């Protein structure tokens, strides 16, 4: 569970989770019984952790969630790592901490936009086997790195990642192909 699992959820959070369940039902990822059970859990959820239990194992369909923006801030002097949930546009700020964005859980056609800011911290973006990325941005006394396995190949559309690294790092890597 993420660091914010105990935070209270809003009606908008519940609506987004319900939409994600409807998409999973229509695509055949879950059956009607499971849909009913999970929808009950979503509608009665009080915390983000309860919502995560209901939809955390389902991929996010970013083609239908173009207006969804998620922001995660990792601030830690002790090096704890924060796992970031992925939205159509995700903003990650790592200040004295580490964050990880795992895009391998998304469908291959999903193309979220990621903005990563690392101030004395680090952000790692993980891609799936068939996902590619383009990394733009600036590193000031810091590091930005796109691994050779994550670089765009052929005519595939890359995932756009924009970064600002000030005495920190933003690294994009992919599982070996």
- For residue 170, what are the CA distances in angstroms to 12, 41, 77, 113? 30, 36, 18, 15
DSSP line for 21-49: HHHHHHTTSS-HHHHHHHHHHHHH--BHH
- Using the predicted structure, report yes or no on whether residue 152 has a pLDDT greater than 80: no
Quickly state the pLDDT bin for 2 (edges 50, 70, 90). very low
The answer for residues whose C-beta is within 8 angstroms of residue 120's C-beta and 6 or more apart is 95, 96, 166, 167, 168
Q: What is the pLDDT of residues 98-151, one digit of tens each?
A: 888 888 777 766 778 888 889 888 888 888 877 888 899 999 999 999 988 777
- Using the predicted structure, report yes or no on whether residue 3 has a pLDDT greater than 80: no
**Other C-beta atoms within 10 Å of 87: how many?**
21
- What is the per-residue pLDDT for 78? 38
Task: Determine the distance from the C-alpha atom of residue 149 to the mean position of all C-alpha atoms in its chain, rounded to a whole number.
Answer: 19
- What is the per-residue pLDDT for 5? 55
Tokens of 126: 């993980």
Collapse the DSSP code of 89 into the 3-class scheme (helix H, G, I; strand E, B; otherwise coil) and give the result: strand
Quickly state the pLDDT bin for 74 (edges 50, 70, 90). low
pTM above 0.85, yes or no: no
Tokens of 53: 């239990």
- Using the predicted structure, report yes or no on whether residue 96 has a pLDDT greater than 90: no
Collapse the DSSP code of 61 into the 3-class scheme (helix H, G, I; strand E, B; otherwise coil) and give the result: coil
Q: What is the mean pLDDT of the chain?
A: 78
Q: Match 């979503």 to its residue by tokens.
A: 42
Q: Which residues, listed in sequence order, are joined to residue 100 by a DSSP beta bridge?
A: 83, 124
Q: What is the pLDDT of residues 18-49, one digit of tens each?
A: 888 888 888 888 888 988 898 899 899 898 88
- What is the per-residue pLDDT for 79? 41
Q: What is the pLDDT of residues 51-67, one digit of tens each?
A: 888 888 887 654 444 44
Tokens of 59: 């991929």
- Using the predicted structure, report yes or no on whether residue 86 has a pLDDT greater than 60: yes
The answer for residues whose C-beta is within 8 angstroms of residue 166's C-beta and 6 or more apart is 118, 119, 120, 139, 140, 141, 142
The answer for residues whose C-beta is within 8 angstroms of residue 10's C-beta and 6 or more apart is none
């Amino acid at each position: 569970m993420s660091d914010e699992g105990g935070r209270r959820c809003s009606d908008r959070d519940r609506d987004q989770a319900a939409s994600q369940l409807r998409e999973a039902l229509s695509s055949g990822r879950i059956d009607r019984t499971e849909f009913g059970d999970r929808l009950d859990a979503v509608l009665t959820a009080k915390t983000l952790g309860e919502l995560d239990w209901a939809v955390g194992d389902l991929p996010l369909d970013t083609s239908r969630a173009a207006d969804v923006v998620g922001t995660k801030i990792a601030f830690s002097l002790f090096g704890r790592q924060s796992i970031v949930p992925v939205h159509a546009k995700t903003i990650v700020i790592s200040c004295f901490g580490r964050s990880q964005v795992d895009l391998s859980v998304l469908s291959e056609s999903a193309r979220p936009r990621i903005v990563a800011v690392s101030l004395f911290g680090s952000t790692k973006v993980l891609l799936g086997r068939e996902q590619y990325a383009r990394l733009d941005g600036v590193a000031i006394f810091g590091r930005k790195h796109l691994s050779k396995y994550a670089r765009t190949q052929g005519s595939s559309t890359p995932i756009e990642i924009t970064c600002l690294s000030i005495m920190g790092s933003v690294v994009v890597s992919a599982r070996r192909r």
